[in-house]
């Protein structure tokens, strides 16, 4: 993906908006910065057991696959390795590891992956000073053999997922420092990863505006970066910014794109003209493509979260309105191609486990019987000894895991888990 350019941030936060929530967490338990054992904070010597906060048929598999992933893809220092692409690291991978560690109650791995990202993905100016708190999206081996950031520019989805993970970690492990870190990161996401539209709305963009300008009057958008459930969490802890406006513009985007293609399915990337409110397919020779494929799969995951966590009617309506195309193809052919053009033609003959996992999650809210078919026929058969497909498919491991993670593992459930743990230790 193309992530270019960087901007210096302006860090201003009102003390009165921060203090009340911080005091609530501080009252529950000592700060994690002291590494105390109270409420199972972050001390690995506490012997914290891996566990999900809900019971489901997938619990044992999710814990086993996390342990296998942790061993295979995460170094001792916390770097997450993409073994299919030159052993590089991407900011997305660090954020995914943080989200998974929170869900499975692994504070030590959370801290390691977060610390590595902060230390190694910091975006620096020519003087070596941080420009903001966003993460360079790509890190790996340079031609001279050294390892460092290969592209210092940020990917908004990774920073959104990292901020989400920090908020959830603050709740699950009663760690106020993570909440402070999240608020600081949110200010930079807002300042550099969103922009004002001519109609007065605020729009999420995939990275720096200069990098995603197709023409002077067009910007490039990625629907799978839209994370409405995360934006609701951001609004709770960061009242200085209108995160709810991103929810409205995001659902408008999804609705508009439903009419843009013959299938109604979301594209990976799309060009948008803010002045006219119109969309166009990206040129066929452009590095980013307007097709339904591996990026777009994540729309099902992010929208399903909003439907279940926050009972958003637009989310449920989107799932019910857009999944019938996939159900129809499944019932006719017993398979789903991994890539579809905007006119509905299969661009690839192969299937993708990541696709089936994301569709499975959406269908649990729309057609549980079809969801069970996909689970039995496409997801369970390709899982063995902690891995889906093989032990090099970094992206597949993550999307398959998130697809099978019960949606009722919500922020409220994580909060209640922390409260129960504190009470049991009093």
How many CA atoms, within 13 angstroms, populate the side-chain half-sphere of residue 185? 28
Cα 316 to the center of its chain, rounded Å? 19
Q: What would the 3-class secondary structure string for the chain be?
A: CCCCCCCCCCCCCCHHHHHHHHHHHHHHCCCHHHCCCHHHCCCHHHCCCCCCCCCCCCHHHHHHHHHHHHHHHECCCCCECECCCCCEEEHHHHHHHHHHHHHHCCHHHHHHHHHHHHHHCEEECCCCCEEEEEEEEEEEECCCCCEEEEEEEECHHHHHHHHHHHHHHHHHCCCHHHHHHHHHHHHHHHHHHEEECCCCCEEECCCCCCCCEEECCEEEECHHHCCHHHHHHHHHHCCCCCHHHHHHHHHHHHHHHHCCCCCCCCCCCEEEECCCCEEECCCCCCCCCCCECCCCCHHHHHHHHHHHHCCCHHHHHHHHHHCHHHHHHHHHHCCCCCCECCCCCECCCCCCHHHHHHHHHHHCCCCHHHHHHHHHHHHCCCEECCEECCCCCHHHHHHHHHHHCCCCCCHHHHHHHHHHHHHHHC
Q: What is the mean pLDDT of residues 249-261?
A: 96
**Does 425 score more than 90 pLDDT?**
no
pLDDT tier at 14 (50, 70, 90 boundaries)? very low
* Tens digits of residue pLDDT in 118-158: 999 999 999 999 999 999 999 999 999 999 999 989 999 99
Q: What is the mean pLDDT of residues 291-317?
A: 98
How high is the pLDDT of residue 181? 98
Full-model pTM: 0.89
> Higher confidence at residue 71 or residue 46?
71
How high is the pLDDT of residue 46? 56
> What are the strands of the beta sheet with 278-280, ordered from one edge?
213-215, 218-221, 270-273, 278-280
pLDDT tier at 230 (50, 70, 90 boundaries)? very high
Cβ atoms of 388 and 424 closer than 8 Å? no
How high is the pLDDT of residue 348? 86
> Higher confidence at residue 11 or residue 133?
133
Q: What is the mean pLDDT of residues 242-248?
A: 96
**Does 40 score more than 70 pLDDT?**
no
How high is the pLDDT of residue 216? 86
* Tens digits of residue pLDDT in 337-373: 999 999 999 998 899 999 999 999 999 999 999 999 9
How high is the pLDDT of residue 418? 60
**Does 423 score more than 60 pLDDT?**
no
* Tens digits of residue pLDDT in 194-211: 999 888 889 999 999 999
**Does 87 score more than 70 pLDDT?**
yes
Calculate helix-pair angle for 228-237, 298-309, nearest 10 degrees: 50
Sign of the CA dihedral with 354 first, then 356, 362, and 364 last: negative
pLDDT tier at 32 (50, 70, 90 boundaries)? very low
How high is the pLDDT of residue 17? 42
> Two tokens at 378?
């496409």
């Amino acid at each position: 993906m193309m992530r270019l350019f960087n901007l210096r941030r302006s860090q201003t936060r009102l003390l009165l908006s921060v203090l009340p929530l911080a005091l609530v967490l501080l009252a529950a338990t000592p700060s994690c910065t002291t590494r105390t054992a109270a409420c199972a904070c972050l001390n690995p010597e506490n012997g914290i057991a891996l566990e999900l906060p809900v019971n489901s048929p997938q619990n044992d598999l999710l814990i086993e696959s996390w342990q296998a992933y942790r061993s295979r893809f995460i170094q001792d220092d916390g770097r997450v390795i993409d073994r299919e692409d030159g052993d590089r690291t991407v900011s997305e991978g660090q954020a995914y590891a943080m989200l998974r560690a929170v869900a499975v109650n692994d504070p030590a791995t959370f801290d390691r992956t977060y610390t590595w990202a902060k230390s190694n993905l910091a975006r620096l100016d020519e003087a070596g000073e941080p420009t903001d708190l966003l993460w360079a999206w790509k890190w790996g081996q340079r031609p001279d053999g050294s390892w460092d950031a290969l592209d210092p520019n940020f990917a908004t989805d990774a920073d959104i997922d990292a901020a989400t993970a920090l908020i959830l970690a603050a709740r699950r492990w009663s760690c106020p420092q993570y909440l402070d870190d999240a608020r600081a990161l949110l200010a930079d996401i807002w300042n550099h990863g969103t922009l004002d539209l001519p109609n007065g709305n605020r729009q999420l963009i995939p990275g720096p505006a200069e990098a995603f300008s197709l023409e002077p009057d067009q910007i490039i958008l990625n629907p799978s970066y839209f994370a409405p459930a995360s934006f609701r969490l951001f609004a709770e802890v960061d009242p200085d910014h209108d995160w709810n406006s991103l929810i409205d513009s995001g659902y408008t985007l999804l609705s508009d794109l439903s009419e843009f293609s013959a299938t109604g399915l979301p594209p990976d990337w799309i060009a948008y003209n803010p002045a006219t409110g119109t969309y166009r397919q990206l040129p066929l020779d452009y590095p980013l493509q307007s097709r339904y494929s591996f990026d777009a799969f994540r729309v099902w995951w992010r929208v399903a979260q909003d439907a279940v966590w926050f009972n958003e009617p637009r989310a449920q309506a989107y799932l019910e309105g857009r999944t019938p195309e996939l159900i129809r193809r499944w019932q006719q052919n017993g398979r789903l191609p991994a890539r579809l053009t905007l006119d509905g033609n299969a661009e690839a003959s192969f299937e993708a486990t990541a696709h089936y996992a994301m569709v499975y999650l959406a269908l649990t809210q729309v057609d549980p019987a079809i969801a069970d078919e996909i689970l039995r026929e496409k997801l369970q058969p390709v899982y063995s000894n902690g891995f889906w497909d093989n032990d090099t498919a970094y992206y597949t491991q993550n999307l398959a895991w998130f697809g099978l993670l019960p949606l009722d593992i919500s922020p409220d459930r994580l909060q209640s888990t922390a409260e129960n743990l504190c009470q049991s230790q009093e």
